[in-house]
Amino acid sequence: MNTNIKKLSEITSRIVQAATPADSNGAILSLSHFFVSITKDDNFSSSLSTNNSDIILKNGIAISTVDAALCLDDTIRTITFLKGIHQAVHSLFERFPNERINILYAGCGPYATLLLPLLPLFQEEQLDITLLDINEQSLTSVKSVIKHAGLSNYHIRTVKADATRFTYPSEKKLHLLITETMFYALIREPQLSVTAQLAPQLTQGGILIPESIDLDLCCTLAGNEKRFDISSATNKVRISNAISERLELGKLFSLSKANSFSINKKKNEYYFISKTFEVPENFSSYPDLCITTHIKVFGDYVLNSGESAITNPYCIASLYTFEKAQSFSLVYDFSAIPFWQVKNQREVDAQAPL
């Protein structure tokens, strides 16, 4: 067995078996060192410093190769996705016995972090993999990772394309779709548009990763919310504060395979309008209006609010700026770079389709 693939297999086995935060942190650190070590001969590390430009898509931002690489250091996120995907593949073996499992990883980044480490745990003929990214530098890097990690015998192809416009080959079943192209509260990046484009292409019984992304609205004190942060100065900083008080207002929406948002392109309806909320009478203990994110990767593997950079709370407004007893809704606009707006009832009525 190739020395590198043996080393990767050992690291990944530690990851899927990690039972404590210390185990998880140690395993992810080993994985990070592994990726850096196998790509150093291709001058990948030095090339990162000159490839730090985001790509602006029609429905969001494709982050730079540098930022995509840093996602590896979001430890709980990486561990949770790898464990969930590992379980999902085994579930697909049971659902589709004697079939090669076709996987599309949309927005794979420079390491294909959420999939490539798992490959040594499977036989080469069990999987057919498509790695998709719009960033040429990321694809150059991932090809290097495949080569130097000893994964060249696996059925892997790389495709440069915009995931919000991509069509999977019709002659093949799509069993597993992996896409983590998101920022907290689904702003900036095109997770919703990618899901809306690709999830309907899954075969019946196929699996979307993450299985669901739930966005909820609450009133809180923003400074007391739990947050995860990756700082360039200190590499990794986890800030975890106790929540003093929070008033849950309700769900905004859930993004899943069953609810992947049918976009009405003819009417240019690239937005979602929430139900109507009212400003609470006494909000001094929780004056900030925040969107929280909860991700179900697969099965019992979940990321709660503040456990990852992609589930950090997003405080959209101060309740002190609202009129007393004002009714309002939140509008999610993903016609370009996704963002949230607070609108009063008159503004909502004007935007809502007839």
Measure the CA–CA gap between 29 and 50, rounded to whole angstroms.
24
Can you list the residues of the chain whose pLDDT is less than 70?
1, 41-71, 230-244, 260-269, 325, 347, 349-354
Which two three-digit tokens encode residue 57?
Answer: 């898509």
Burial of 126 (0-12, 13-18, 19+ CB in 10 A): middle
**CATH homologous superfamily of 3-211:** Vaccinia Virus protein VP39 (3.40.50.150)
Measure the CA–CA gap between 89 and 172, rounded to whole angstroms.
17
Measure the CA–CA gap between 342 and 331, rounded to whole angstroms.
6
Measure the CA–CA gap between 69 and 141, rounded to whole angstroms.
10
* Closest C-alpha to 212, from 176, 248, 175, 258: 258
Measure the CA–CA gap between 176 and 116, rounded to whole angstroms.
14
- Domain residue spans of the chain: 3-211, 214-351
Measure the CA–CA gap between 176 and 90, rounded to whole angstroms.
11
What is the per-residue pLDDT for 104?
98
Measure the CA–CA gap between 287 and 280, rounded to whole angstroms.
10
- What percentage of the chain's residues is helix, strand, coil (to nearest 5)? 35, 25, 40
Q: What is the pTM of this model?
A: 0.90
What is the per-residue pLDDT for 11?
93
Contact 100, 126 (CB under 8 A): yes
Measure the CA–CA gap between 312 and 106, rounded to whole angstroms.
22
What is the per-residue pLDDT for 237?
45
Burial of 335 (0-12, 13-18, 19+ CB in 10 A): middle
